[in-house]
Amino acid sequence: MAFELPTLPYAHSALAGHGMCQETLELHHDKHHQAYVTALNGFVEKNAELQGKSLEDIIKHTHGKADMAPVFNNAGQHWNHSHFWPMMSPTDGGKIPARLEKKLTEDFGSVDKFKEAFKTAATTQFGSGWAWLVLQPDGKLAVTKSPNGSNPLATGEGKVLLGIDVWEHSYYLDFRNRRPDYVTNWLDKIAHYAHAEHLLG
């Protein structure tokens, strides 16, 4: 069965008052994410060894294989974006629930220190990529970053709780070249911490 573009869990205009305009979400979800899904389906159609595999299996199977890089990039980006949309909330953006706050404080020293680490990862990712909050196999939270379409699922760094897209297509209409402002605004007004807490288990 072909992979499909998931429905955006809110209206395209829902984050407009929070620093992510309707046109950004129309282009980002309807055009960019759709393009990754379409490309991935094209590769699967032509390659029997990919057929019948889950998205996660395709990502793990193609990671680090030079001849499979185009498949990995598009599969990774489909996974990344599918997880990115529910990691933003028009109603609960920026609100950190108590259990996650406690865990962030335990593992980073304070919520501010977590935000600082996340912002550093997101702004020092050279070129396109992502920054993540992950639950490591050792049970501790950590911040990581990935280039292009990669992610912590591929590298085994941990379970993704939160992630920000720092490709220019995700912020250029709203923040132009000011990636640090995009990241700060995203952490303070858009990030869906209740979803991250739910993923903690």
Pull the structure tokens for residue 147: 């280039």
Q: How many positions of this chain bind Mn ion (CB under 5 A)?
A: 3
Q: What is the smallest separation between the CB atom of 179 and Mn ion, expressed in angstroms?
A: 13
* Cβ closest to Mn ion, residue 62 vs residue 170: 170
For residue 37, give the nearest of 194, 167, 138, 149 by alpha carbon: 149
Closest residue to Mn ion using C-beta atoms:
165
* Cβ closest to Mn ion, residue 55 vs residue 111: 55
Q: What is the smallest separation between the CB atom of 166 and Mn ion, expressed in angstroms?
A: 9
For residue 97, give the nearest of 181, 170, 201, 195 by alpha carbon: 195
Q: What is the smallest separation between the CB atom of 85 and Mn ion, expressed in angstroms?
A: 10
Contact, 95 vs 193, CB < 8 A?
yes
* Cβ closest to Mn ion, residue 123 vs residue 136: 123
Q: Which of residues 38-67 bind Mn ion (CB under 5 A)?
A: none
* Cβ closest to Mn ion, residue 114 vs residue 167: 167
CA distance 121 to 134: 13
CA atoms within 13 A on the CB side of 170: 26
* Cβ closest to Mn ion, residue 36 vs residue 108: 36
* Cβ closest to Mn ion, residue 35 vs residue 199: 35
Q: What is the smallest separation between the CB atom of 146 and Mn ion, expressed in angstroms?
A: 13
Q: What is the smallest separation between the CB atom of 199 and Mn ion, expressed in angstroms?
A: 20
CA distance 194 to 192: 6
Contact, 171 vs 182, CB < 8 A?
yes
Q: What is the smallest separation between the CB atom of 76 and Mn ion, expressed in angstroms?
A: 11
Q: Report residue 72: phi and psi, to 5°.
A: -60, -45
Q: Which of residues 141-180 bind Mn ion (CB under 5 A)?
A: 165, 167, 170
Beta strands in 68-198 (DSSP E): 129-135, 141-147, 159-165
Q: Which residues bind Mn ion (CB under 5 A)?
A: 165, 167, 170
